[in-house]
Amino acid sequence: MKMLSTLQTPRSTLSRFTIPSTITTFTSHSQTLPQASLTTQSPTTSSPHSQILSTRHSLLSRNLSAVDLVRSHLTRLRITEPHLRSFLHLPDDNTLIAQANDLDRRIANGEEVGPLAGVLVAVKDNICTADMPSTGGSRILENYRPPFDATAVKRVRELGGIVVGKTNMDEFGMGSTTEASAFQVTANPWDVSRVPGGSSGGSAAAVSARQCVVSLGSDTGGSVRQPASFCGVVGLKPTYGRVSRFGLMAYASSLDTIGCFGSSVADTGFLLHAIAGHDRFDATSSKQEVPNFLSHFDSASSLESKPLKGLRVGLIRETIEDGVDAGVVSTIRAAASHFEELGCSVNEVSLPSFSLGLPAYYILALSESSSNLSRYDGIRYGNQVYADELDSLYGDSRAKGLGSEVKMRILMGTYALSAGYYDAYYKRAQQVRTIIRNSFKEALDQYDILISPASPSAAYKIGEKKNDPLAMYAGDIMTVNVNLAGLPALVLP
């Protein structure tokens, strides 16, 4: 990750009519870096580009107050939000200013503040927050307020981060454009006629439009990486288990991860460090020590002419073949050439099982979702429809509370798990999952990282694929294999 950060440079002012191209990197080594404490140094010529570090330095040197910082973002929100619709829930301005005032008071008194002090963080609406509604983008949970914060949100707050709001998403994470939200459609900040991707489209758009500094999303089959690609920001999907899923509304429990968006690699690394680590409330969270990712970053200006010398890079052949836009292929090949200029050895590598990932993913994800979403019955959570019979109460509450995409996926998942079809679909998909995991392991025994496009095309026009679910599902072909293998992945503009 240290070496990859040298490819990231500060982005210029947004151009509304430019869709940025991206590159995705996969690695098997995200949890093997040495342990170190979280550093909070001031930005210097040798520090990586980081809004988080710059914010902390400005606050501690009294060049900027937290109140000024919050008011600046609130002003930008008022200007951009009517056009973008990134957020579903925003707290009262006075609530955020009160938090900023408290931070300024603590700094003035010489008290220690956390490394995320004053950093405005947006949170995807399927990640629970006790002080704001958490609806998962669904009418069935409209106005629902959890009694607790998700572990990731709790850790952000403990380190001084300020939650600026809850971002729009495809209902329960089921979609690739954020058009499946029950409440509104989010626009892409680079071109408002296009989608921001999904399902974490609101979180990606908010960072891209500078409505916040960093944001949290969730990734089940590419829901952090694809919108990061479409919106031109850095998106990080951690290794499965690196971040606690406690407080994340379950879609497919064996695939779900909470991920990070930022305008630089350093900021996503900083945010990951803040939320990573074992959690006793999540039995699947890793007990492995959390390294200090930021300590492995160097500024590009401090490196030699061949800073990536010796790094072995594999370009996945199946991701640049038929079905991928020519512009995307040329961009990825240009990125591969840039790797070589920086000292890497780059070779194409074939993963024959790559094309099997998409059908296996949808069978497994939809099967798990049909079980996980059974809790939304009008009794335990959210909105309830009045009925004389219990079965009618269940049926009517779900019929009126769930959107068409969610209903379709629940039905397909239930079918795959039904008697007579379990072995033909679910069991076989699990076997394919093992093949994919082994295929990645073999490739990563030969290469340090694997690269591919994050999506086979640039951002779609709004409405372009809404009525063609198979075409929309095919857009996930670059990302789903990583979730099936449990690997980490990083999207770079």
Indicate which residues carry an active-site annotation: 124, 199, 223
Q: Taking a C-beta distance cutoff of 8 angstroms, is the pair 49, 8 a contact?
A: yes
CB 344 within 8 A of CB 475: no
Phi-psi region of 343 (alpha: psi -120 to 50; beta: other; left: phi over 0): left
Q: How far apart are CA 373 and CA 432, in angstroms?
A: 25
Question: Token digits for 347?
Answer: 């070779």
CA distances in angstroms from 136 to 104, 140, 175, 249, 462, listed in the order given: 33, 9, 12, 7, 21
Angle, helices 428-446/357-372, rounded to nearest 10 degrees: 130
- Tokens 């709004």 belong to residue: 462
Q: Are 215 and 167 in contact (CB under 8 A)?
A: yes
End-to-end alpha carbon distance in the chain: 15
Q: What is the DSSP string of 101-113?
A: HHHHHHHHTT---
DSSP-assigned letter for residue 41 = P
Tokens of 8: 């990231």
Tokens describing residue 348: 């194409």
What dihedral do alpha carbons 362, 357, 254, 475 form, nearest 10°? Answer: -60
Contacts of 285-291 with C-beta under 8 Å, sequence gap 24+, read 285/241, 285/242, 285/243, 285/244, 285/245, 285/246, 286/31, 286/239, 286/241, 286/242, 288/31, 289/35, 290/35, 290/242, 291/31, 291/33, 291/34, 291/35, 291/36
For residue 261, give the nearest of 230, 241, 236, 242 by alpha carbon. Answer: 236
Please, what is the Cα angle at 115 between 281 and 231, to 5 degrees? 80
Of the candidates 409, 425, 406, 415, the residue with the CA atom closest to the CA atom of residue 366: 409
Question: Coil, helix or strand for 431?
Answer: helix
DSSP character at residue 38: P
Q: What is the DSSP-derived secondary structure letter of residue 43? A: P
Spatial separation of the C-alpha atoms in residues 292 and 37, rounded to whole Å: 6
